[in-house]
Amino acid sequence: MRKLYGRPFSVYVRTVRLCLEEKGLDYELVPVDPFEPASLPVWYRDLHPFGKMPAFEDDDLRLYESDAILRYLEARYPKPSLLPAEPAALARAVQAMRVMDNYAYPAMVWSIFVCEVHDVQEGSMPRDLALSQSQAILAELDRWLADGPWLAGDALTLADTHFLSAIDLFAMTDIGCEMIDAHPAVRAWWQRLRTRPSAVATAFPA
């Protein structure tokens, strides 16, 4: 039986859940919360030596790092395919996923969403910088969406599902909503994505 360890509010747990749901794969979500280190069972260090979420098991295979888990799922359960075969589209998908990790996650999630919604004083960067990074990210999404309805072209890929949570959380702030509204192609893509059964099934808890 596949087991995914983590909590439903985590961006990186959700990216794996979205992949599992899109591929129609059953799994058990085992609740461990690295944000409450005292609650972490001792055995969790065997699954994730760095104490983050998610960790994943498929029979005897144990993995951590969401990208490794996603690559495994894509290779082991190739239907439906969630990464393009064509080299340029594959590169675009991978590039979009790294833009989410390296720019959207720190700016949109940790510096705008967390500070505004959880009333945290200091994000991972100053607010002005986070807003200009967010603006650059939305402009890139717009540019990519000029080539097709999904971030890497004609078909939904892991790039779309990986990006969804950052936009969902950013949109929970007034400024995020305003900025998304100023990018109609991004708003339409987000609407298409967030209403998919996989997105509804893994929506962040209220």
Ligand X SMILES: N[C@@H](CCC(=O)N[C@@H](CS)C(=O)NCC(=O)O)C(=O)O
The residue ranges that bind ligand X (CB under 6 A) are: 10-12, 34-35, 52-53, 65-67
What minimum distance in Å lies between the beta carbon of 95 and ligand X?
A: 16
Dist. CA 206–CA 81, nearest whole Å: 31
What minimum distance in Å lies between the beta carbon of 18 and ligand X?
A: 13
Nearer residue to ligand X within complex by CB, 36 or 59: 36
Contact in structure between 25 and 2 (CB atoms under 8 Å): yes
Contacts of residue 88, Cβ cutoff 8 Å, sequence gap at least 6:
none
What minimum distance in Å lies between the beta carbon of 11 and ligand X?
A: 5
Nearer residue to ligand X within complex by CB, 67 or 142: 67
Ramachandran angles phi, psi of 143, nearest 5°? -65, -45
What minimum distance in Å lies between the beta carbon of 16 and ligand X?
A: 8
Nearer residue to ligand X within complex by CB, 12 or 170: 12
Nearer residue to ligand X within complex by CB, 34 or 84: 34
CA dihedral 104, 48, 200, 92 (to 10 degrees): 40
Angle at 48 between CA 52 and CA 82, to 5 degrees: 80
What minimum distance in Å lies between the beta carbon of 9 and ligand X?
A: 8
Nearer residue to ligand X within complex by CB, 66 or 134: 66
Q: Sheet containing 28-30: give its strands across.
A: 28-30, 2-5, 55-58, 61-64
Burial class (CB in 10 A: 0-12, 13-18, 19+), 28: exposed
Q: Is 3 helix (H, G, I), strand (E, B) or coil?
A: strand
